[in-house]
Amino acid sequence: MTKHFPSIGSGRLMSVLEVLSGKPVFPPPIWMMRQAGRYLPEYRETRKQAGSFLDLCYNPDLAFEVTMQPIRRFGFDASILFSDILVVPHALGRDLRFEEGRGPLMTPVTADDIHRLDGSDFHQHLAPVYETVSRLRKALPTETALIGFCGAPWTVATYMIAGHGTLDQAPGRLFAYREPAAMALLLDTLADHSAEYLIRQVDAGADVVQIFDSWSGVLDEASFTAFCVAPVARMVAKVRSVHPKIPIIGFPKGAGVLYERYRQDTGVDALGIDWTVPVSFGARLQSDGAVQGNLDPMRLVAGGQALRDGVDAILRSLGNGPLIFNLGHGITPETPIDHVEAMIAQVRNAAR
């Protein structure tokens, strides 16, 4: 039977926005990356109706349903749009399919292909996503923040270049070094269209947006600056030119010590930190604003003392500053639901 958490009352939307403005709130608001997903039986049932993963992303009825499922079950303080980072290159005319056990598959883009990326139907292609956002904002409890998102240009580019995910994104790195002009054009094209995508999500009702750079950790310092920081800064400036007050979360997974200048150099409001970031370092990052994270998803799978210790460490070290409690990456399909319930209860019942 689904366990419904009791209402946490009014004002939690404001608490999410307060944290993103740099103010501490305790207990901190909580949500999970990939909170709509295969660990939930109701998601698996809806997924069967869709036909394919992409059909699920582009069907406003079904995308709305799976986005709402974790909110109904757990009452998280934020809801994140259900979609995928690769809808942006798909909307630029690239082919895309998902295969069970292999993930996303695309025809690898070439330097010549980049000049032919076609954004003429970009927003029409993504209209179902905007419709989903609009429906969500109307249906969500007023206390629940709605997060829109997209992939960062570097991470999206790596999939476009390799045609699939790899262990270290070597194809993308080699392409960047061998074809610097083509890579610059690809990153600029993705940055501009991704910013427009976020702007439309805000227009449709998103309260916050997050930029996922899942593969920033494979780059050296100079490449991180050129391929991760610069394109995201371009995006932030473009979004802020239309929506100057929208909170933006940047998640450069694996950035390590390079997290320290990321906020300043990109202009994002908050840093999503992965589970490898020491909480002492996370506390230092809080001196410049909010952080989000950073429980190891495997602690959530393990449960018990490992989970309790992980939650305690984060609350103890980061709870006095502006914190949105989250995982350090997405929840995995094998995660027991009762472990999620235990985590939420521990965070919400925490005392200083």
| DSSP result, 268-331 | -SEEE--TTS-HHHHHHHGGGSEEEEEE-HHHHHH-HHHHHHHHHHHHHHHTTSSEEEEESSPP
DSSP tag of 30: B
Q: Between residues 333 and 7, which one has the greater pLDDT?
A: 333
pLDDT at residue 325, rounded to an integer = 98
Global pTM?
0.95
Confidence of residue 13 (pLDDT cuts 50, 70, 90): low
pLDDT at residue 103, rounded to an integer = 87
pLDDT surpassing 60 at residue 194: yes
- Written as six digits, the tokens of 326 are 């989250």
- Among candidate residues 73, 77, 84, 207, the one labeled active-site is 84
Q: Please give the mean pLDDT across all residues of the chain.
A: 95
200 an active-site residue? no
Confidence of residue 9 (pLDDT cuts 50, 70, 90): very low
34 an active-site residue? yes
316 an active-site residue? no
Which residues are 148's β-sheet partners?
209
**187 Cα distance to chain centroid:** 19
- Among candidate residues 34, 135, 173, 299, the one labeled active-site is 34
pLDDT surpassing 90 at residue 352: no
pLDDT at residue 10, rounded to an integer = 40
Q: Which of 185, 181, 187, 188 has its CA nearest to residue 158?
A: 187
pLDDT at residue 8, rounded to an integer = 41
Interval 186-199 mean pLDDT: 98
261 an active-site residue? no
pLDDT at residue 12, rounded to an integer = 62
pLDDT surpassing 90 at residue 27: yes
Q: What are the structural domains, with CATH classification, of the chain?
A: 12-348 (3.20.20.210)
From CA 217, how far away is CA 199, in angstroms rounded?
Answer: 27
pLDDT surpassing 70 at residue 220: yes
Interval 157-168 mean pLDDT: 94
84 an active-site residue? yes
DSSP-derived 3-state class of residue 192: helix
From CA 50, how far away is CA 41, in angstroms rounded?
Answer: 15
pLDDT at residue 111, rounded to an integer = 96
pLDDT surpassing 90 at residue 146: yes
- Written as six digits, the tokens of 104 are 């996303």
pLDDT surpassing 60 at residue 1: no
pLDDT surpassing 50 at residue 296: yes
From CA 126, how far away is CA 193, in angstroms rounded?
Answer: 11
DSSP-derived 3-state class of residue 5: coil
pLDDT at residue 2, rounded to an integer = 41
- Among candidate residues 12, 39, 47, 262, the one labeled active-site is 47
- Among candidate residues 39, 159, 197, 262, the one labeled active-site is 159
